[in-house]
Structure 1
Amino acid sequence: MDKVESAKKAAAFRAVDNHIKDAHRVGIGSGSTVVYAVERLAQRVHKEGLKVTCVPTSFQARQLIVNNNLILSDLEITPQLDVAIDGADEADNKLTLIKGGGGCQLQEKIVAAAANLFVVIADYRKNSRVLGEQWTKGVPIEVLPMAYRPVQMKIESKLGGKAILRQAKAKAGPVVTDNGNFVLDWVFDRTHDWQQVNQEIMMIPGVVETGLFVNMAKIAYFGMEDGTVKELQV
């Protein structure tokens, strides 16, 4: 296992060990680091007999839950969660996050908002002083397909930078989210007041959700190159 994968695993295991208890209702995020969190959760369920109920943030997260024989639920049945564990594309020193590199930001934000505690797990490459320091692909913005072009133009005229329609890799045309929407990746060209920017973008008709997670995460675990885990709380 290389340093990055070891770092992801260390952060995920630490978060699961520190924050998941018996009878907890757990939001399961999406992405490569969450795979290790579900692995550790399944180990603890098997060894300790924990009873936990899991709510996924995506089709991928649902498959992880099912394949590890964990109890699957949804927000209709389990609308309040004790903890949500998810990755991030980047986190600044205030734990403002960019999420949605995998196109799941809408469901990830809904699940995180339903949890009493939102915990971030990531490797050292995702830990930045300010957003944009290491993540250069921009802020993912989920939009209704019919609105992508006007939204694109409004974002660029109001906030600068470039809003790029995300293209699929293994199919012709744009990426389509689990919700049937398109994704614009807004590559910003300066530092912003992220709370204000998030509100401005959300006010544009046709925008469904942004990948800016402001004042949501309370604690983050970053697996480091040397095998240690850095903890950041706000």
Structure 2
Amino acid sequence: MNEEAALAAFAARLGHDFARPELLRQALTHSSATQGSRLSSNERLEFIGDRVLGLLVAEWLIERFPTEREGDIGKRHSALISAEALAGIAERLQLAPALRMPGSYRQQGFRTWVNILSDALEAVLGAIYLDAGLDAARVVVRREWASLLEGHHKPPLPAKSRLQEWTLGRGLGLPAYRLTSAEGPAHNPVFKVVVAAAGREAEGTGATKRAAEQAAAEAWLAGLQDE
């Protein structure tokens, strides 16, 4: 399938008819594909899409769970906008075949690939917002995130809380987090954090230190399933 066909197929799965298809094309252009070219990457659209998604999910949660406390709403919100949640939706929408990026980048490790997919989906939401406004973005978010939102009858615990419960429940003390690097431009930073617990370490990355800590805890917990 050529690039234009892959783009059209993804747009059809997304269910939004772009008046400005160049926005979708940019949203699906990874920064690695812009080196030495005049192409614009999806980073600026990702910046917008992150805010659009956060607002729309917050609005939806307040409407859907009118009696829940702010803290519990916050836990639901964090789970629904996490990189893992976005990457899962991107996989379901088969976003990857439409991404413009060198083949070598498709061989990245699991955590990097999750971030690439989640960033691209945020960029797509930013493109929809710029193309047709908040109502159009809301339609897509409520359709694609519905199963995740309705799948949690109780607010989910963040990965850091789950890891802490696991270690304290076994008398192993608190997990230790350390920031190992902070890179990238100011508008799109990448933080790397390593968590150490029970004699084992795991690394996570994120757009904030807190997000990187959550990703590290998630990676540590995922390692339990492999043991």
TM-score range, shorter chain: under 0.3
TM-score (norm 1): 0.23
Query: Larger Cα Rg: Structure 1 or Structure 2?
Result: 2
TM-score (norm 2): 0.24
Q: More relative contact order in 1 or in 2 (CA 8 Å, sep 6+)?
A: 1
More strand by share: 1
More helix by share: 2
